[in-house]
Amino acid sequence: MKHMLPLLLYDKSALEPYIDERTMTLHHDVHHASYVDALNIALESAPELLQEKKADWLLFNLDKVPENIRTEVSHNAGGHVNHCLLWRIMYPQTASVPQGQLAAAINASFGSFEKFKLRFEDAGSHLFGSGWVWLVKAQNNSNKLTILTTTGHDNPLTQGYTPILVNDVWEHAYYLKHESRRMEYLHNWWPVVNWDEVAELFEESGDIVELSSEGTNANGQKFE
């Protein structure tokens, strides 16, 4: 099984003016594609069993990946999984806001939706270097939401959290339009968040089957 670059569910110009077409084209067709290609190349020398596994399984089970390709697999499986989630939680000008249980969980965790957005922007803008800013739910199925940042392509899945929202703060995500003004990019991004999709991730996030079909999580717990 080769890992595949997913098709976007919207046109690359559809997130304008919040994310420009040229950035989307480079980000999806070049950057994300390069992680998928590099992951496939790294796995060519791996045991066949590993070649059949999904990228999130590989992230959970890096100890089963041969040491000579482990770093390469970690970076590129992470890049693949993270970008897949990013494309999924955006949609053209939904201009929506969280509803229902998700809205209640955001209010309970951060005080209000406005406060949550400021905290998320602040976390993303203060991350040093390249990485990601996340809204996550603990995998123990509590409704408590937390904002996290990770560097490189690390994913909170392997730290006991289920991501429900993410933004990419690598420069390639915003530099053409916003140059070095990462805060401006984060602040202007909200109109293209697909809160229906985030709500779906929130509601299913107790169910790890959705994220990986087999294996063990970072705490060594078996899920099936």
Least distance (Å) between residue 32 CB and Mn ion: 7
- The minimum distance between CB 93 and Mn ion, in angstroms, equals 21
- Residue with nearest beta carbon to Mn ion: 168
Cβ distance to Mn ion smaller for residue 79 or 215: 79
Task: Compute the least distance from the CB of residue 178 to Mn ion, in Å.
Answer: 14
Identity of the residue, 27 or 106, whose beta carbon is nearer to Mn ion in the bound complex:
27
Q: By CB under 5 A, what part of segment 170-209 binds Mn ion?
A: 170
CB of 28 to Mn ion, least distance (A): 9
If the CB atoms of residues 134 and 170 are measured against Mn ion, the closer one turns out to be 170
Q: Which residue has the tokens 């995998």?
A: 139
For Mn ion, the closer of residues 175 and 223 by Cβ is: 175
Structure token digits, residue 94: 């939904």
Please, what is the minimum distance in Å from the beta carbon of residue 4 to Mn ion? 17
Looking at the Cβ atoms of 8 and 103, the one nearer to Mn ion is 8
Size of the site for Mn ion (CB under 5 A): 2
Q: How far is CA 122 from CA 158, 163, 207, in A?
A: 23, 18, 30
User: Does 132 sit near Mn ion (CB under 5 A)?
Assistant: no
Nearer to Mn ion, 56 or 168 (CB): 168
| Contact in structure between 202 and 144 (CB atoms under 8 Å) | no
* H-state helical runs in 89-191: 100-110, 113-126, 175-178, 182-188
DSSP at 189 = -
Beta-carbon contacts of 122 under 8 Å, excluding residues fewer than 6 positions away, are none
Are 124 and 166 within 8 A, CB to CB? Answer: no
For 52-77, give one letter per residue: b (16+ CB within 10 A) or e.
ebbbbbbbbbeebbeeebeeebbbbb
Footprint of Mn ion on residues 8-37 (CB under 5 A)? none
Shortest approach of Mn ion to residue 35 CB, angstroms?
Answer: 9
Between 146 and 175, how does the x/- string for binding to Mn ion read (CB under 5 A)?
----------------------x-x-----
Helix then strand then coil, % of the chain, to nearest 5: 50, 10, 35
Give contact residues for Mn ion (rule: CB under 5 A): 168, 170
